[in-house]
Structure 1
């Protein structure tokens, strides 16, 4: 196998993939429909494309790629690394003008929308470009939940460190078969890709969630052992996946990240699949995806938490003056570890305000308990200022999502002449919901019973769906100013 060598625990991702190909060449790496690509075949494709690419780029050159999840996208990423380049995977749902703008912004040498025709196989003695851990590996444009995306620079060492930390925490093995609906061009999907390829596990690729019941049927068909999703993935499986109609005896674990998920919904999922372990994760693109993990066992005693830090990662909660706060006190969340980004592409000001003395200012608000478990209260830019009060949108969202008939909820500020801001609840009704006037009264009553008066929504708007990024995160800044509403 070209380029294969025995990896250490700190080996970079390409080295670990090539090792899997050398030791388990016939084991499936990807399944797409009826097409199966083994680890040996995958490594041969990477080596051939990587050797051909060496004549077109210099080490450090960016190569953008615009593809739906497929074997070829993984080949493009790893072949770029083989040649010493920087992989820039872009969202294929973007408009052509946006793709051109991002490709130009990162000064990519060229943009792949498909792999070039198969070049000659790489010579048996071909080796990848020698890469240092601190070298730039990937440029990931954030999903833009609050506005213009930023280019996050991730090194080879940071990607490898976070991949290993996830593997040490989640119940993963080379025999796993994971159904993957998460796009590789975002941090969560990228993490799933790298953890599986470096471990020798199998990914079953599905690019559409339009018919959730088909996803459930596919999990049964391929005997999927794992599933990863954002909150909306699990909401759709609960509402439309017909989980009770399709036995999933092979499914052992699911994991959720990409935003907070209502604990009541997690319990509903557990009731539907009681034998399946439900893991909760929290992270950021700037941290190569993952910072904390909450196990199913710990979740029972820490409802609402996202868990303790992954191995090798430190967390602190600080006040506005930068002082570290004791357990239980709410403040800014900071993180430190080998998984942090190098900075933002061509944005030294943003880098300087986000990376401070080796620590990442996450922009999230939360608190740590005495056991080191993290609880999120929202984004610092999302915290509502209701008169003299500071209000967490997540607390209100969790309260409203517990109301029967509510499918999803996003809380945003509503300008108010007296208080500055008041609470606006944007609700997607669940299937079979009561009439909207009744649902409005139910929400208002539940909020009065469980929230302080100033936290109760002043306005409730109903929507068919909430605007989302391709990775499934709600884009609150794109929620229309008004819709079907009650006040």
Structure 2
């Protein structure tokens, strides 16, 4: 009896001591600390951000993402005790929460009903504090979004600051409010509390960079930033992958291809360690190692092997032609290129290999690397799959990608681990995906969309990834989709329209949505996918320098003809452009923006990005924050002193001949400086019909091409974008302007 009493007294003393330490370090009351101690010990909570949240000057509204049943207990323990907590009915009725509910005032609120309470405004105006618990949803439905409007209105009336709070990892607790299929459970995950700096609605609207943006949208975007802030960006890609394996299960099937089958996280990382050892022997830490592989398991293994060994994966665009590939090898100072003999033979890339070797790099074949692997080496790798070969640094380069070259010579874009992880987490904070999904990725990994969105994002979020080696197999991909049953697919308008022409109606019926980028999505493509397959195409916008996703439409915020709204954490500004009345040139900054460029004239030398990046795109933004791409700055023609968007010309032509593909290019003109030529697949296109259509549409005559060049198909880059350099050359040659 005495022993039991002593043990209990000892436990109580330790508990009280721990509470005293927490009360002092976090600035909370001793009673709050006593009830917080069990959470702190069990979940190893990172809670530094709560100190700043507590220090926010009243009036303040703490907006908490309600992912599990424990958030109210955590917030009642950590927020100032004069905070009025607005609890949902389940939390208000839960008996286990009784001790925590005594820590501060609380009232019951049914989230199904929108509220604008004068009482709450009075509380705030009296230098009060509120804690409001929002249902956890990346894409809230219309009814749920009304809650954002209501709280934004209260904050505006009381001139209150808003502090978004997100508890990272809470959705995987046994008490999670998310279905287990979408959020696998873990008994003791490590939690991290993210709390953003307090800001008023007016400050949020001004910070958005959009004139007159709605208060609810500015608030919604800030709330999404808290989700991003809770993500771990400083561990590097290798550790992010291991965290995902721990969260979703190391034996979970995560990647699959049409040749070698399915791999679990453990199998994938074991293979990466084996290959990484081989690559260590032929390169030094920080070296750029070329990766010339199709979408397949081997590519992901090689990529993660290089990451584990602290090498930089330089993704070689094998569709760019021997000259551009040789230029890339020299620009990034690549000494070794990893590839597959079987792939080189099937894809007929012998000339590309020759160009690589002429540029001074040697080929390393996966087939030969695999031959020399012994059984003990495999066993050792299997035991240490979760350990990197070299120390990881998230601020160091992870990959090198090359710009598309659609308008000129490609540049090398250097992206850090943090850039890539941030962009994947930004996308997760905007698009509703979960381990219940399966993604079919046909976009090559040398294209930033295919690498980050189509490969890294699913691997870090537990989404099953099905890789297909080429987007150009228009007849085979619908059949693959029918068998693999993906719920998500990425593509470009060119590829999606081609798949639709060869597909049967049920081939893509499993899809929830399709994310399209790289080029504008035509209304005809959108209509076909909606009517035939029941799949919505959500259009986005990105660039290699942004790793790449910048903006995207979602289920909640979707507007045809736009590329959606900015991802969380990205800020923009528009610079005026001479001759452009609507919109301006887009500049961006954010955690996903590249480290910098390497160029052919300064090979191997990183030219760092200095703060803001000039995208070269002309965009307009409406009051809801939706971006519309008006064209590239380089894709404006100056005709008789007037600036004309070639993108707008293409939209005009597209509306007249919607089932065809078109490219508007500018060519020299002795009298006007430049003139527009239409390169089109429309066999019935004629200048007079287009002129009359333009007149009916009310566009200026300068916008209407008088020269039309008809082609069997438009030249396309490997990424799916229109190859404007080649299209312009075709126009000049056919019109006999080569001499000019």
TM-score range, shorter chain: 0.7 to 0.9
Partners of 2:297 and 2:502 lie apart in 1 by: 26
Deviation, structure 1 residue 94: 4.6
Cross-structure match for 1:174: 435
Contact kept, 8 Å, 1:21 with 1:43, in 2: the verdict is no
Contact kept, 8 Å, 2:667 with 2:732, in 1: the verdict is no
Residue number among 678, 686, 710 corresponding to 1:462 in the alignment = 710
User: SS state of the match for residue 587, structure 2?
Assistant: strand
Residue 446 (str. 1) matches residue 693 (str. 2): yes
- Cα shift readout 1:156-205 (whole Å, capped 9, x = no counterpart): 11111111101111221122211111000111101111001111222222
Residue number among 67, 76, 91 corresponding to 2:302 in the alignment = 76
Residue 104 (str. 1) matches residue 315 (str. 2): no
Partners of 2:313 and 2:623 lie apart in 1 by: 40
Residue 310 (str. 1) matches residue 567 (str. 2): yes
Residue 26 (str. 1) matches residue 251 (str. 2): yes
1:467-486 pair list within 5 angstroms: 467-479=715-727, 480-481=730-731
Partners of 1:453 and 1:484 lie apart in 2 by: 23
Indicate how the Cα distance of structure 1 residues 87 and 243 shifts in structure 2: closer, same or farther if over 3 A, else same.
same
Partners of 2:554 and 2:406 lie apart in 1 by: 27
- Cα shift readout 1:259-305 (whole Å, capped 9, x = no counterpart): 2222443234323333x232111011011111111124533xx3321
User: SS state of the match for residue 281, structure 1?
Assistant: strand
Cross-structure match for 2:272: 46
List alignment gaps of at least 5 residues for structure 2.
Answer: 1-188, 192-230, 341-365, 736-740
- Cα shift readout 1:399-453 (whole Å, capped 9, x = no counterpart): 2112246411111113222221222111113xxxxx626x655433322221222
The alignment covers a number of residue pairs equal to 464
Indicate how the Cα distance of structure 1 residues 443 and 236 shifts in structure 2: closer, same or farther if over 3 A, else same.
farther
Residue number among 127, 136, 141 corresponding to 2:388 in the alignment = 127
Deviation, structure 1 residue 67: 1.4
Cross-structure match for 2:125: none
User: SS state of the match for residue 617, structure 2?
Assistant: strand
Indicate how the Cα distance of structure 1 residues 399 and 372 shifts in structure 2: closer, same or farther if over 3 A, else same.
same
Contact kept, 8 Å, 2:597 with 2:608, in 1: the verdict is no
**Structure number with higher relative contact order (C-alpha < 8 Å, ≥ 6 residues apart):** 1
Partners of 1:394 and 1:243 lie apart in 2 by: 32
1:151-300 pair list within 5 angstroms: 151-191=412-452, 192-238=454-500, 240-244=501-505, 246=506, 248-274=508-534, 276-299=535-558
Deviation, structure 1 residue 206: 1.9
Partners of 2:610 and 2:413 lie apart in 1 by: 18
Most deviating of 395-404 and 51-60: 51-60
- Cα shift readout 1:372-411 (whole Å, capped 9, x = no counterpart): 2211111111111111211111111112112246411111
Indicate how the Cα distance of structure 1 residues 97 and 391 shifts in structure 2: closer, same or farther if over 3 A, else same.
closer
Relative to the length of structure 1, the TM-score reads: 0.87
Indicate how the Cα distance of structure 1 residues 355 and 418 shifts in structure 2: closer, same or farther if over 3 A, else same.
farther
Q: Which has the higher helix share?
A: 2
Partners of 1:295 and 1:318 lie apart in 2 by: 27
Partners of 1:380 and 1:386 lie apart in 2 by: 14
List alignment gaps of at least 5 residues for structure 1.
Answer: 430-434
Contact kept, 8 Å, 2:472 with 2:495, in 1: the verdict is no
1:385-424 pair list within 5 angstroms: 385-404=638-657, 406-424=659-677
Residue number among 291, 294, 304 corresponding to 1:65 in the alignment = 291
